[in-house]
Structure 1
Amino acid sequence: MRTSIKLQIKNPIQFKKQLLNWSQQFREALFLDSNNYDQKYTSFDAVLAVDAFTSIKTDEINAFEDLKQYQQTTRDWLFGYLSYDLKNDTEALKSKNFDGLNFPELFFFQPKKLFLLKENQLEIKYLNMCDDEVEEDLDEIHQIADCSTPVSDRNLQIQQRISEEEYVLKVSKMLEHIQRGDIYEANFCMEFFAENATINPIEIYQKLNEISEPPFAAYFKNHKQFLLSASPERYLKKENDTIISQPIKGTSKRFLDEVEDEKSKLGLASNEKERSENIMIVDLVRNDLSRTASKGSVEVEELCGAYSFKQVHHLISTVISKVESDKALTEIIKTTFPMGSMTGAPKIAAMQIIEDLEETKRGLYSGAIGYFTPENDFDFNVVIRSILYSQQNNYVSFSVGSAITSLSIPEKEYEECLLKAKAMREVLS
């Protein structure tokens, strides 16, 4: 079905930029970049999928069943996303908040052309129908300048959907729910947005990626809808019979002074409030994974490891399980979605309270983007630290959030949100 060609690349960093710029001629494109971040479960340094041969897009009703049929019928590489609001397909929930983007709830495509890069080894996988275009495409890619033309609006009026005063009031209400025992943790988010906005998505993505250099960066284009993601978090990966979940909870600042920076990292690792956030979500992830796991196979491989990124330090845990070979891929995803790090615990009650207190429909934000392989594996990130852009609506949006627990101080949570928003504001302003 696919022709595979393997090559050596002299300058992988330059080649990645050329690949990304070359992808703009296609209606559909998904570029994934690990930024050479040192991590245990990396399959590729970068991936580019372009030009849909087939695709599926759907809203909430029967979304996972539709995806299951599509994945099992094609048995090929599939790239795309799951929006947060697919929660309504798994539970008796609704999404009534404002949506300025209007993306489909689910979109996947089967690319005609696929590039897989690991160190300096490139594998090209074209559908047989277009494998005679490989040489011509490579010539085009190598001739592309590795910079984009800046055409983004420099006068974007970025607005905040929830004011600081409103934020404090809403988090206080969430704390009341925690004190009553309705929930014990919830992720509360707020949106920043710009209307009448025109940006060059490639330029903004490149700047965001340069500022953050995260392990799960993603550039996604579906005609006039774009995701520019600097995500540091993996949602879920399947590798043979192993499922890997790596929730992030717990954040502290980076400092230019090395001593101060190390102090911040060590302080995060020992902070009772930050660790409790992470441990509560680890318990939720263990429970979610157990619904499809082989008996007794769920284990916490690492608990509250402190990791450094260019903007912040984070606590990351790794939870793994084993699954039987006949388990449907969509069942594994459906029983863990949305990810606990973006909801809270208990999950359903947290999502109901989130819907009541937040003012924007999350959509693709805090959903997941990634791919399925023909070998029945998959890998998806968590869509955070991301800018969403509707070229049709001239609407730019990014959201940030933090975990609210009984130890939360609303004003401190607000400061954490501004810290997480910093890189995105910077590249847009």
Structure 2
Amino acid sequence: MHDSFAHVGGLLATRLLDVTTDLSALDGEGWWAVVVDYEGKVTCARFADVRPAPLPAPRRPWRGPHPSQWRSSLERAAYEEGVRRIRGHIERGEVYQANLCRVLAAPLPPDQDPAALALRLAEGNPAPYAAVVSLPERAVISASPELYLSRDGDVIESRPIKGTGATAADLLEKDHAENVMIVDLVRNDLGRVAAVGSVTVPALCEVEQHPGLVHLVSTVRARLAPEAGWPELFAATFPPGSVTGAPKSSALRIIDELEPEPRGPYCGAVGWVDADRHRASLAVGIRTFWLSSGVIRFGTGAGITWGSDPRREWHETELKASRLIALASTP
């Protein structure tokens, strides 16, 4: 495996200085690669050498698992039953929507190079928030299309995705309703740490094209209150609303009941923070692989509402996963 490095936002970071689990370090100094698991585990890695550069050349070609080796934490019958149970919670008024996710896992041949998988994804599934963070214990390789949080001085922005189809014609009224619900949630989350009256929605339910599918995307923007730093920003907004549900507290409880395995970096945050310049870009950890202890994992999921059809939601998780699992597999 390469020495520790990160490649994100067109920047190559090398010469690892230190790793911390303390988000307040991001209010200090230096350039940090950041991975925060959905369950809240924080990894902030500070690098000494950061420069615009392409992905480092892999030491060897990628050799992934055979397509038949992938196993799902929820098989189809269990996933569809989970959708029905969430609809029951909605019927009882406990939640408006909740994301139901599953984790795919396969054994990984030894000594694989994360840069080789990142290169495959860059060529086969380019993404606006592509990232690779390779550290001694774990490597995270993401082709995320979704912005969790960006920062430029005191201006913070989130671009939640809700609504997925193979084409724009596949997007339903349910998708638009879902997106608007999550925009309200994100507005409320950002409002907890924003200057009073600064939260705006510059774009609502725009259709974005991505490889093999389309998404509905909205933009929520605010100015960060002077007393709020990175710990307060995460406390107010994490995990991202688009991958939990609304109300968030109820959705988190239901997710915990229905999902048998931790999500890890999937549905967490992956990106960079430049503490010196008060700039940052953190993606939602979707379309994301993580490698550790000889296993490769990948998460996929769907937002469940009262209008959800269990079979359709299962197929949405398949649609989101199929292209990337194919890229990561070796026949």
TM-score by length of structure 2 reads 0.93
Looking at CA atoms only, which structure, 1 or 2, has the larger radius of gyration?
A: 1
| 1:158 aligns to 2:70 (yes or no) | yes
- SS of 1:352's equivalent? helix
TM-aligned CA deviation for residue 266 of structure 1:
4.8
Percent of aligned pairs sharing the same letter: 33
Partner in structure 1 of residue 313 of structure 2: 413
Query: Hey, what's the Cα distance between the residues in 1 that align with 2:87 and 2:282?
Result: 31
Structure 1 residues 413 and 53: alpha-carbon distance in aligned structure 2, compared to 1, 3 A threshold: same
| 1:295 aligns to 2:183 (yes or no) | no
The one-letter code matched in structure 1 to 2:36 is: L
Higher relative contact order (CA 8 A, sep 6+): 2
1:56 pairs with one of 13, 16, 20: 20
How many residue pairs get aligned? The number is: 326
Query: Hey, what's the Cα distance between the residues in 2 that align with 1:397 and 1:25?
Result: 19
| 1:424 aligns to 2:327 (yes or no) | no
**Equivalent residues in 2 for 1:120-139, closer than 5 Å:** none
Partner in structure 1 of residue 285 of structure 2: 383
**Equivalent residues in 2 for 1:7-406, closer than 5 Å:** 25-26=2-3, 28-33=4-9, 46-57=10-21, 66-68=22-24, 70-72=25-27, 74-86=28-40, 105-116=41-52, 146=57, 148-150=59-61, 152-153=63-64, 155=66, 157-195=69-107, 197-198=109-110, 199-253=112-166, 264-268=167-171, 271-373=172-274, 374-390=276-292, 393-406=293-306
For 1:207-262, what per-residue CA distance to the aligned partner results, in whole angstroms no more than 9, with x for missing partners?
12222111000111011411111100010011122110100010110xxxxxxxxx
For 1:184-221, what per-residue CA distance to the aligned partner results, in whole angstroms no more than 9, with x for missing partners?
01111011111364444222221122221110001110
Query: Hey, what's the Cα distance between the residues in 1 that align with 2:310 and 2:170?
Result: 20
| Higher percent of residues as helix | 1
| Higher percent of residues as strand | 2
Query: Hey, what's the Cα distance between the residues in 1 that align with 2:35 and 2:161?
Result: 20
TM-score by length of structure 1 reads 0.72
TM-aligned CA deviation for residue 394 of structure 1:
0.9
TM-aligned CA deviation for residue 48 of structure 1:
1.4
Structure 1 residues 163 and 54: alpha-carbon distance in aligned structure 2, compared to 1, 3 A threshold: closer
- SS of 1:327's equivalent? coil
Conserved? CA contact 2:286–2:300, under 8 Å = yes
- SS of 2:237's equivalent? coil
Conserved? CA contact 2:98–2:305, under 8 Å = yes
Conserved? CA contact 2:270–2:285, under 8 Å = yes
Query: Hey, what's the Cα distance between the residues in 1 that align with 2:58 and 2:232?
Result: 41
* Structure 1 segments unaligned to the other structure (5+ residues): 1-23, 34-45, 58-65, 87-104, 123-140, 254-263
TM-aligned CA deviation for residue 55 of structure 1:
2.0
